[in-house]
Amino acid sequence: MRILHTSDWHLGRSFHGLSLHDITEDLLAELIETVKEEEIDVLLVSGDVYDQAQPRTETVSLLSKTLEELGELGVRVVLSSGNHDSAIRLGFAAQLLARSGVYLATSPQNFTEPVLLEKDGVRVSVYALPYLEPRARAAEFGVAASHAAVLGYATEQVRADLHKRTVDASIVMAHCFVSGAANSDSERDINVGGIETVGAEVFEGFDYAALGHLHGRQKVTETVRYSGSLLAYSFSEENHRKGGWILEVDSSGVRSVTEHSWKTGLHLKTLRGKLSDLVTEPAYERFRDSICRIYLTDPVRPLGALEKLRERFSTVAELYFEPERSERAENKNYSERLKEAKSPLEVSRDFYEHVRGAALTEKESDFIEGVVDRARADEVSA
């Protein structure tokens, strides 16, 4: 049995005001082709199917179309709700869809009931845990209002059910932040001061933990992995290779786990330099069609910078002004330099370097020195 682990589709999401509907549609078409080429039997989506609790009509239609095409291929699909999803809306008609091989795990009441899969005599139990909000479930479960306590209780119940069954492999799906894993800037925060992280040991006893929530594909342990998001949703994901994990399962259990990367994706690029170089240097031409985050290092903020940059680069999503700091400014912080300042000129110079990141020019120094001298003269004559 071949299983594709994905998560965090975030259907309906935008990037700095840019609609991602078309590129998401292209990527899901690639996913369908991957399912065909890799002979995938089961597709897992570990939470955050939608980006919003109330998705737009075109977004719901895109998911419906994708599930229909997967169904025509005979692929069984297991989707669990994440912290972005409305469990009620995503779980609509769950029992009806299950008859067609689409299993929606959104209810906190029946998470101990696995999706039982079988092919060529190989039996797999998939326990798809929906996102369990601690404040909503702690009292019901009789545990502390933390992700570790709530998820620990849930996996305990699931293990109890697993021990009653005879299967070749067990998979648990969850949407959480495992301690030690790397996050990015685009996940909706469910972590506050480390309290909301969970240890990987909570998934002991399962052959594989198919996790969602963190957007970078990564291996926490051999059996605990994040597939990452379909697309990059922040510049912190600029160097991510998006994709998923393909599991090969036989009568001995999970025989292998290999990564699979998408060809479709957003081309994000962070550029840093002076405006004149960015708009004229041939080396930057290859980023014309990228979605750019730009840091200008000019000593003085250039006028009309955004307009000029947009003539060169089709999409400038973020623009920052960070002038190159002088060697002196790099070596000591502002408070240290202020303590050492012995004259009004030095105080003025240090303040200027702290704010602008560059040293005073000779002309500027002369001007400030003149102002200080006149102030002293006025004070003496007063």
**What averages of pLDDT result for each successive group of 10 residues across the chain (382 residues)?**
98 95 98 98 97 95 97 97 90 85 91 95 97 92 94 96 97 93 71 66 97 96 97 95 98 97 97 97 97 96 95 96 68 58 71 69 80 67 52
Q: Check residue 338 and give its pLDDT.
A: 56
- Euclidean distance between CA atoms 365 and 353, whole angstroms: 12
- Euclidean distance between CA atoms 2 and 74, whole angstroms: 13
Q: How many angstroms separate the Cα of 278 from the Cα of each of 5, 102, 246, 285, 292?
A: 40, 50, 41, 9, 12
Residue 142 falls in which region: left (phi positive, over 0), alpha (psi -120 to 50) or beta: left
Name every residue whose Cβ is closer than 8 Å to that of residue 171 and which is 6 or more positions away in sequence.
3, 44, 124, 125, 126, 127, 206, 207, 208, 209, 210, 247
Q: Check residue 43 and give its pLDDT.
A: 99
Q: Check residue 224 and give its pLDDT.
A: 98
Backbone angles phi, psi at 292, to 5 degrees: -105, 145
3-state helix, strand, coil in the chain (%, to 5): 35, 25, 40
Q: How many CB atoms lie within 10 A of CB 36?
A: 11
Q: Are 114 and 139 in contact (CB under 8 A)?
A: no
Q: What is the DSSP pairing of strand 42-46 with strand 2-6?
A: parallel
Q: Check residue 195 and give its pLDDT.
A: 42
- Euclidean distance between CA atoms 364 and 320, whole angstroms: 25
Q: Are 43 and 93 in contact (CB under 8 A)?
A: no
With tokens 């709700």, the residue in question is: 81
Backbone angles phi, psi at 54, to 5 degrees: -120, 80
Backbone angles phi, psi at 152, to 5 degrees: -60, -45
Structure tokens at 125: 């139990």
Q: Are 81 and 90 in contact (CB under 8 A)?
A: yes
Cα angle vertex 254, ends 237, 241, to 5°? 15
